[in-house]
Every structure is written in structure tokens, then in C-alpha cells.
Structure 1
Amino acid sequence: MCVTWFMISESPCENGYKLVLVFNRDEYFIKPTKSADYLDSNKDVLCGVDMRPEKEGGTWLGVSKTGKVACLLNIREPANRRVSHTKKKVFGRGSLVTNFLTNDTDCTSYLRQLIGSDYNEFNLILMDFRQAKPEVCYYSNTSEGECSSLESGCYGISNTPLSQPWPKAMKGKQYLEELMKKNHTMSTNELTDKLLKYASRKEGEWEIPEGISFEASLLVPEAAFFKSPDYGTRTTTVILINKKGETTFTERTMVDPMDPNTKWSTKTFYHRAATVKPVKTIHELIQFNYCKIKCCNIL
């Protein structure tokens, strides 16, 4: 099951980072996926894409050139609580990320629109770095109904609600905290290498017999990197946003045909977040329009 660890900072030092994020995607190797690239329909959005029938276009993680970031982790539900696809139409959860990245809605407003929607259970993390103070929100549509703003700090989330972290989520969070305390201004390349190495480390890896791969992954929630004959960690992504708003997106993913012994490919994207002017308040708009009228009368 997937896991992400991330650190957010509202006021990083000169060579520090607003965001440091690592994401391990666990999935069946047979499921078709397009590796990270800019969307054909929106060249401002960078993400991998789910290519399964009726799921096309969804994603688990992505960024926009304007400074938005979003990631999704499914929650493993008991069978009796899962929405039945035969009885009721449910939406693909991957669209939650792409829809947020492709429109101008802020985090809080976007999450309000999801209340009462028909999705199987999920964790959703939305980030908006377009303003001086980033907005970071977490929402889970579980029975707990968790929805909250996340302050500066380190977090670890997997396939349970934020308040009930799995061991691999806590271990990764601890590693990230210790790493950034030692050297929070390390170069982009060095930091990316360390995070990729940690996320794909062999220590704690579990070999699972064929036929019980997915179910077994639920029984070893401490395994950050998971491998079995037909299911496992097939993509690791590192996203860094520095104080200047420059984004580095590095993806390490399995190459087709996929199996536990397959080769891996790594590619990196870089872009600078666009400058977005603050939205004027009603008071500011009234003052602005009054000034325009007054100036026109003078002329």
C-alpha cells in the first residue's frame, strides 16, 4: 500500500525548502500507467496517469506550474463498508488530484465540494504555494471525517487516516525530520538522492509468495518498499520546492514489462512557480473603483 512523507515550511532559510515530499506508489504491475509527464490537456500540470478503463486521466500525485501540489492515498476498507460498484456508481478517486491541479480553486474551497460525494475511502493532501504563506490541507472521507489545515512540520501518511498512522508512515516521518535537522540546506541533487535511496531501501523489504500479494501487503504495514511477484512498489517520486518557488520533480519508476526483477528508469522535471497576485478584498476593490471614478471626473 502507498505511503508519503513530507515536510512543509512557511518560512525556510535562504537555501531551504518550502516543501520536501516523497511518495511510494504500490500497485499491481499489470495495471496500465503512464509515467510522469505534462498532461496533453493541460501543459501546466505534471503527473503520472492511470490508464485503466473508466479510470483514465486520474493520478495519485501531481504538481502544477502555478505552485499547486496534490496527492491521494486510498484507504483499505473492510468489505462490508466499501461502496458496491454493482449497486451504486462511484467516481474514480484519481480525478480528485487532477481536478484540483487543473483549476484555480483554493484548497479549502475544493475540499468543501467533496463533502457527501460518492468515493471509496481516501486520504487527500492539497497544497497551494501561490501565496507567501502556503495553504496545506488534509481531508479523509472516512467515518471520522477528518479535514484540517496542516502547519509547518513533518508528516507521514499511508493507507489509514492521519490520526492512525502505520509504522512505515511514522518511520519515514522520523527519518525526514532527522535528515532535515542535520542539513536543511543540502543541494537538490543530494537531497533527492538520499530520499530515493531511503524510499527504495532493501532493509525491511518483504518477499511475499505469489497469489497473496495484495492481502499480505496489509499485514506488513512497516514495509515502505514492498515487492511480490505481481504487486509492489513500482514508482517513487520526490518533489522539492525551494524558497524561490522553484520545483524539482523526480520520478523513479519500473520499466515495462514489469516484474520484481525489472529495470528502473529515473527522470527529473524542473520549473519555476508562476507569480500569482493576491486576490483583492472587497474593501480594496471598492477603494480601487472609487479612485477610478474620481480620476475620470477630474479628467
Structure 2
Amino acid sequence: MTDLLDQIYFLFERLTWMSVLDIALVTLIIFIVLIMVRETQAVILLRGVILLVIFLSLLTSLVNLPAFSWLIRTIMPALLLAIPVIFAPEIRRGLERLGRAGSSPILGKMRAYPGLEDTIHAIVTAAIRLSNRGHGALIVIQRNDPLEEFISTGVALNARVTPELLLQIFYPNTPLHDGAAIIVDNQIAAAACVMPLSSSGILNRSPERQMGLRHRAALGISEATDAIAVVVSEETGLISLAHNGRMIRRLDGERLENILMAFYLPSQPPPTFLDWLRGWLGQNRPREER
């Protein structure tokens, strides 16, 4: 016990600010990597790689195996070079999120524009009616990231957002019902748009098996961009919302409208002392004039 305490004390004696910074940087990199692969198929692969490295390290350190140790030292650089290739989708997704966070004008909130509340109300009304009728739908709403590459895959409409138009687009067996409708500002820019499918594996772990291609496409576009995707299930009529690779299920009209308002309407900043002082002076000025 005394030797252990002496070793710990010796380590703390050699610990400097540069050492703390070094450890903090390594910890931060590991944390970022874990965040990028969280809730993806890569987690299983990463867990296997970590267990394999631990096993090989213990084996080569506890048992004297010169040939095996030489083999491990030889192939280890190749494994390190293979990691970026194996985790390429997760690394790309993480860098895209980092780029969006750095360029977002108002902390990820989209600028408010005239008629935004009417557009959200039309989307919610259409989602409720589609749910009641059992018609599947996928409505993608642009935020800060441009969606031109996905708009170009569909049929251009450039029409004002109304519940009736959305109901007509997603009416079964019509030419535009298969695919996503993309909304930009107050207009339906295009319908029947092709969305990227999610490869995260979240839907595979879900206990519900009613989530098909529409839900995978909603998750996929939310992983590739900062857009919001509203999904109406054709089988169950349930309304879901996807954002940033996450999905909120079983939404009613009120919750859906509240979430969309929170995403698209910038919140008011908390009042400062000067705002409070101006309000206080404004309230007391009429009394002084009397």
C-alpha cells in the first residue's frame, strides 16, 4: 500500500500544466469519436476493435511470443490506416455537423420570415388529416442547410404550402406520392424527391417494426442536413419527426406544432438589465407627468 501511494505521489509530482493539456486533448478526441459513432452500426465494430486490441496487448505483454509480437507490430500500422476507411461515413457525418455548427447564423435556429406560422399550421393540419386517412407522407422542411441537390431529384412545384395541396401530393397512387415533399420558406419547392437512407441502425433496434423506407429516409436527410422531416406512417397513421439523426414518435397535432415552432421561430433572448431599466422608467414616466 505504501509503495502504491509513493508511486501515485511520484506521478503527481511530475504532472505539469502541459501534461494536463495533453491528457485533456486526448480525452476530447476520444469523446468526439464516441459521439460520432454513437447509435450507429460502427459502435459494434469499434467495440470489437477495442476488445481485440486489449486482448492482443495483454497476450503479448504476459506471454513471451516473439514471432507473434513481431506480427502484431507489423500489421498494427495497416490497421491504423484502415480505421478512417472503415469509419468514413461516421467521420464525414461528424465533420458535417461540426461545419453546420460553425456556420449556423443563430445557433442552429432558422431566421423567421413572414408567414412562417401559417406554413407550420398548414403542415400540421395536413399531417393530422393524412394520419386520420391512413395516407403515408414525408415532408422535409429546410432550415439553414440548402437542399438544392435533393430538390433537383423531384418534380418542381414552387407552390404555396396549403393542407389541400399536401393531401393531394400524398394521395395514394398519384404520381407525386412516392418520395418527399421539400418545403423552402413558404413554398413547396418540389415533390417526389429522393432522400438518402439512414445507415445508423436506430430503426433496427426499435421494438416497433412498422417503420419502413419513409422513416429511414427521414432519418437519412436529418443526418445529412439540419432539415426537419415529418413522417406519417401509412401502416399505423402515427406521426413522427426526425432531426439530427433522432426520431420523436407518436406525436399529436399540438406537440408537432409546438416542436416545429420551437425549431423555426427564434426564441426571445432573456431581458438584460438595460431592458429592465427601460421598462421600469417607461412604467413610472406617466406617474411623474401627472
Q: Same fold (TM over 0.5)?
A: no
Q: Of Structure 1 and Structure 2, which has the larger fraction of its residues in strand?
A: 1
Give the TM-score normalised by structure 2.
0.27
Q: Of Structure 1 and Structure 2, which has the larger fraction of its residues in helix?
A: 2
Larger radius of gyration: 2
RCO comparison, higher one (Cα < 8 Å, 6+): 1
Give the TM-score normalised by structure 1.
0.26
